[in-house]
């Protein structure tokens, strides 16, 4: 049986994330994890908080807390929010864990043995006002590529171009805002990515099934300008993984830490280590997910991320894995498929963490249950182009899809059955032409839905799922059991029996998208969640006489007044 390893991009520890962050990695990863579990596959779904580097130090300083204390508190905040959205991680770890510290130092030592790390003298920015060297993210300025005036010293978040601090125009300290900066010589370690260029190109070219967004970004970084550049992997910071070669000190690197983008992807592996340790399991239990020489040869590894993270996951992290695999006998698992996403924009502009523009995860859950958000976000996932959140679109999806189509069918069928036959699946009646047409239509649609889910075509899967819901409503409307009951109660009983089984089918198919509503339906029907390979069989799953209860209203409609109030509330500054 194929095993599925899933990782979603590791979010920075600083701040609560907005809906654009959520749909860019974690939520679609959860959809895929839930689907594969439903199909009976063994799944390991991993994520963590990215706790090192300047974002953590700056955020902790702003909060007036020690950085380790701040990170511990924000990890809990992010964990609680991920639970609130139903993200079914097997482990939500921390890049500051002892497991990641040891693995990062281990990989660095192996890469040094392979000749892929070397010490270089370089010029780095020193701030007189701050009395220290400024690592890349402590420096802001204007991007020389696109002119964005808040580019960071490692990458421009506007055009995604990889930068060095010395590339910035009009640089300033992100700590003090001072422009009194000086370039001084210091020593750092570099990962020699350029030596892996041909191997990386061959590997990426072989991935003919990857999204064009993923491969086009990777190839652009490989071939633009001078091609793939070597990358500094150490920084002059206090907070981070101390620089070592495995367990040995690294001469000349005292007081330095590994660059956050070197240690953060290694946390994917460390999270499995954390998972095993928390359960009292042995090394072999997490090796079987990550080492192909220790049982991971049958693992399919799928990553989910926004397009800004693609360069690091197609080039830098693979360099670490490929380079390490050339040393010793161990072989570590490379990603098999990278599902990347464009950006979700907010109502005519961009989400803004600094300005509080848009809906953030905590705010979303404070006004509506998670399934409302999950449905709209996945139905509009920015797979092939940027997408835009508007309150009109959100209201329409909730009211028309969730309330009118799915929720209405569940309510009408269960309440009608209770009023005419009691709270059990009625007996009597046989399938006829209408039922045969419905079963044939649904069999085709379920197979199409399944294919889209296997291929991680999220918007197509959501569209097909909605069509499956609509088919049931059209069947109910055309057969009109409320009218049939007056002339032929047995015919009405047969329609309702099939319709109750239809609700169960919908609950199982919908669970990856709207898990809470699915659970409510399954509990009301007092049934299991076995996947429906054969629709005809699935529509007889609940036998005559099977007891059920009428669930509460699954989805409440969003009123125009609510829509307008929320549009105003989330347009301005976040407190």
CATH of the domain at 524: 1.10.730.10
pLDDT at 398: 98
Instruction: With H, G, I as helix, E, B as strand and everything else as coil, classify residue 41.
Output: coil
Residue 255 CB coordination number (10 Å): 9
User: What mean pLDDT comes out for the span 431-441?
Assistant: 96
Work out the number of other CB atoms within 10 angstroms of the CB of residue 497: 26
The answer to whether residue 479 sits within a structural domain is: yes
Question: Other C-beta atoms within 10 Å of 403: how many?
Answer: 19
Q: What is the CA radius of gyration of the chain?
A: 27
224-237 burial code (b ≥16 CB/10 A, e <16)? eeeebbbbbbbbbb
Nearest to 445 by CA among 458, 429, 462: 462
Mean pLDDT confidence for 50-67: 90
DSSP SS3 for 552: coil
Annotated binding-site residue numbers: 143, 146, 156, 159, 353
- The answer to whether 335 and 206 have CB atoms below 8 angstroms apart is no
User: With 50 as the cut, is the pLDDT of residue 403 above it?
Assistant: yes
pLDDT at res. 62: 87
**What confidence tier does 15 reach under pLDDT thresholds 50, 70, 90?**
confident
DSSP, res 390:
-
**Secondary structure (3-state) at 10:** coil
Residue 380: the pLDDT is: 98
Bigger pLDDT: 333 or 58?
A: 333
How many separate domains does the chain show? 1
| Mean pLDDT, the chain, whole residue set | 94
On whether residue 448 sits in a domain, the answer given is yes
- Asked whether residue 170 is domain-assigned, the answer is no
Q: Does residue 573 carry a pLDDT above 80? A: no
pLDDT of residue 349: 87
Which residues make Cβ contacts (< 8 Å) with residue 391, sequence separation at least 6? 347, 563, 564, 566, 567
**Which residue would you say has higher pLDDT here, 136 or 369?**
369
135 within a domain of the structure (yes/no)? no
Return binding residues for Zn(2+): 143, 146, 156, 159
- The pLDDT value recorded for residue 1 is 63
Q: Is residue 244 part of a domain?
A: no
- 158 part of a folded domain: no
Binding-site residue ranges for ATP: 353
Q: Are 509 and 467 in contact (CB under 8 A)?
A: no
C-alpha 352/C-alpha 535 separation (Å) is 45
pLDDT digits (tens, 9 = 90+) for 322-373: 999 978 789 999 999 999 999 999 998 888 877 778 999 999 999 999 999 9
Of 118-132, 279-293, 366-380, where does mean pLDDT reach its minimum?
118-132
Alpha-carbon distance of 535 to 447, in angstroms, equals: 10
Under DSSP, is residue 116 helix (H, G, I), strand (E, B) or coil? coil
The helix, strand and coil proportions of the chain, stated in percent and rounded to the nearest 5, come to 50, 15, 35
Its domain, for residue 453, covers 391-538
Per-residue confidence band for 575, with pLDDT thresholds at 50, 70 and 90: very low
Please state, in angstroms and as integers, the Cα–Cα distance from residue 514 to each residue in 365, 374, 465, 538, 558, following that order.
Answer: 14, 7, 11, 20, 17
Judging by beta carbons within 10 Å of its beta carbon (0-12, 13-18, 19+), is residue 148 exposed, middle or buried? middle
For the segment 83-120, what is each residue's pLDDT rounded down to a tens digit? 999 999 999 999 999 999 999 999 999 999 999 999 99
d(CA 168, CA 164): 7
pLDDT confidence of residue 574: 44
Specify if 529 maps to a domain. Answer: yes
In a domain, 446, yes or no: yes
């Amino acid at each position: 049986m194929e095993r599925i390893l899933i990782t979603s991009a590791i979010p920075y520890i600083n701040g609560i994330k907005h809906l654009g962050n959520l749909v860019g990695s974690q939520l679609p990863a959860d959809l895929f994890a839930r689907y594969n579990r439903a199909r009976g596959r063994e799944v390991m779904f991993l994520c963590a908080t990215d706790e090192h580097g300047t974002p953590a130090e700056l955020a902790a300083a702003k909060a007036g807390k020690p950085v380790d204390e701040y990170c511990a508190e924000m990890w809990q905040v992010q964990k609680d929010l991920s639970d609130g959205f139903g993200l079914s991680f097997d482990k939500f770890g921390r890049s500051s864990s002892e497991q990641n510290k040891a693995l990062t130092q281990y990989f660095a030592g192996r890469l040094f043995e392979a000749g892929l790390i070397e010490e270089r003298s370089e010029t780095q920015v020193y701030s007189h006002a701050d009395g220290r060297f400024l690592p890349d993210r402590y420096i802001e300025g204007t991007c020389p590529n696109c002119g964005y005036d808040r580019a960071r010293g490692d990458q421009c978040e506007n055009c995604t171009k990889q930068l060095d601090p010395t590339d910035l125009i009009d640089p300033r300290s992100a700590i003090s805002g001072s422009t009194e900066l000086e370039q001084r010589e210091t020593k750092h370690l570099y990962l020699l990515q350029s030596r892996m260029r041909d191997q990386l190109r061959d590997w990426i070219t072989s991935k003919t099934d990857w999204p064009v967004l993923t491969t086009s970004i990777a190839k652009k970084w490989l071939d633009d300008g001078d091609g793939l550049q070597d990358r500094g992997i150490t920084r002059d910071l206090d907070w981070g993984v101390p620089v070592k070669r495995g367990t040995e000190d690294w001469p000349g690197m005292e007081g330095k830490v590994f660059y956050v983008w070197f240690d953060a992807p290694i946390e994917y592996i460390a999270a499995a280590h954390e998972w095993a340790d928390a359960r009292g399991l042995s090394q072999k239990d997490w090796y079987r997910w990550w080492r192909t020489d220790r049982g991971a040869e049958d693992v399919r590894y799928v990553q989910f991320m926004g397009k800004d993270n693609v360069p690091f996951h197609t080039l830098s992290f693979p360099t670490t894995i490929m380079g390490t695999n050339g040393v010793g006998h161990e072989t570590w698992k490379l990603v098999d498929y990278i599902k990347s996403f464009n950006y979700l924009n907010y109502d005519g502009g961009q989400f803004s963490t600094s300005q509080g523009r848009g809906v953030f995860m905590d705010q979303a859950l404070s006004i509506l249950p998670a399934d409302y958000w999950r449905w709209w976000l996945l139905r509009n996932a920015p797979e092939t182009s940027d997408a835009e959140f508007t309150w009109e679109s959100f209201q329409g999806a909730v009211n028309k899809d969730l309330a009118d189509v799915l929720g209405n069918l569940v309510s009408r069928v269960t309440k009608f059955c209770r009023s005419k036959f009691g709270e059990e699946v009625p007996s009597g009646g046989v399938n006829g032409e209408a039922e045969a047409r419905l079963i044939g239509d649904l069999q085709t649609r379920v197979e199409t839905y399944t294919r889209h889910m296997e291929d991680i075509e999220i918007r197509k899967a959501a569209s097909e799922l909605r069509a499956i819901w609509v088919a049931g409503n059209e069947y109910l409307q055309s057969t009109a059991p409320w009218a049939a009951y007056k002339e032929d109660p047995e015919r009405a009983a047969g329609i309702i029996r099939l319709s109750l089984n239809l609700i169960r089918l919908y609950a199982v198919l919908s669970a990856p998208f709207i898990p809470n509503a699915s659970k409510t339906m399954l509990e009301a029907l007092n049934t299991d969640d076995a996947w429906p390979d054969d629709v005809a069989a699935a529509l007889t799953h609940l036998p005559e006489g099977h007891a059920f209860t009428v669930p509460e209203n699954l989805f409440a409609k969003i009123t125009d007044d609510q829509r307008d109030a929320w549009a105003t509330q989330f347009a301005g500054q976040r407190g």
